Structure 1
Amino acid sequence: MSQRTRADQEGVSVKQGIAAGTSVGAAIIMATIGIVQLFQGIAAVAEDELFVQGQEYTFKFDFTTWGWVHIVLGVVMIVVGIALITGATWARVMGIVIAALSILANFLWLPYYPGWSLVIIALDVVVIWAISTWNPRAEYY
């Protein structure tokens, strides 16, 4: 085996090892994001005074609608996050789709709760990267 081939394999091995570890972390992060989304949704549906009504925006919904969006998204994220630990292909595809939807929902939620929205968007980007780069069938050397 040539030096170049061995170096390439070690590079792939290190990258896959990081991606595999990050994917397990991504599954945990995704389930955690789902829990946070669920709590945000419950607070919005309960019309808690946690949220401040600001300016009017083009994509404005009432808090009950936003609450149900976050509750549904949160439950699906929890289920997919738990299933993602197995490395199943359907869970990986759904994980990317749900994380992308979460980015969109939290972008639209920015006017209501900007701090949490930015944190969740950043974590969703990490989840998408980890799921996209991880190859559960790669051989480690």
Structure 2
Amino acid sequence: MTENRTIASPPESGWAKGAVVFAAVVIVVIGAFHVITGLSAILNDEYFVQVRGYVFDLDLTAWGWIYLIFGLAMVATAVGLFRRAGWAEWVALFLVMLSALNNFFFIPYQPFWALLLIGLDVWVIWALTRSRADA
């Protein structure tokens, strides 16, 4: 006779739940910042000062579209985190790492803003990986 046993996973700690909710809120904020930056670059790419002699000569309208797509993807992923979807944590980690890299290339155009977003990205990476360690 076969016996069906379910292995109960340990309950998730309050710290882990709080870290994921915190990360989701900050991802929404970062995503909104990306959408605003992307729209401003798309609608008026003269808003950003052109940097001469920068190693990565980027078309600001193209970067605007990249920022807009990143922002919308991050907001959608944050909704998945709020719903506790299993895929959302991994997608959020991937998007936040790409966001930090994207902001690194944007430092000459808006240094304070880019460094602020990189700091928020690192904070979200910490919160998401910390929730995995506590789970």
Tell me if the contact between 2:45 and 2:61 (Cα under 8 Å) persists in the aligned partners: no
Task: Give 1:109 deviation, angstroms.
Answer: 0.6
SS of 1:134's equivalent? helix
1:57 equivalenced with 2:35 (yes/no) = no
TM-score by length of 1: 0.80
1:93 equivalenced with 2:106 (yes/no) = no
Distance in 2, matches of 1:78 and 1:136, equals: 24
5 Å matches for 1:68-87? 68-87=65-84
5 Å matches for 1:1-141? 16-135=13-132, 138=135
SS of 2:83's equivalent? coil
The size of the alignment, in residue pairs, is 124
Identity of aligned residues (%): 38
Q: What stretches of structure 1 of length at least 5 have no aligned partner?
A: 1-15
Tell me if the contact between 1:20 and 1:136 (Cα under 8 Å) persists in the aligned partners: no
Task: Give 1:82 deviation, angstroms.
Answer: 1.4
Q: 1:115 to 1:137 in 2, by over 3 A?
A: closer
AA at the equivalent of 1:93 = W
Q: What stretches of structure 2 of length at least 5 have no aligned partner?
A: 1-12
Runs of 4+ in 1 over 3 A off after TM superposition: 16-19, 135-138
Distance in 1, matches of 2:79 and 2:133, equals: 16
Distance in 2, matches of 1:56 and 1:35, equals: 30
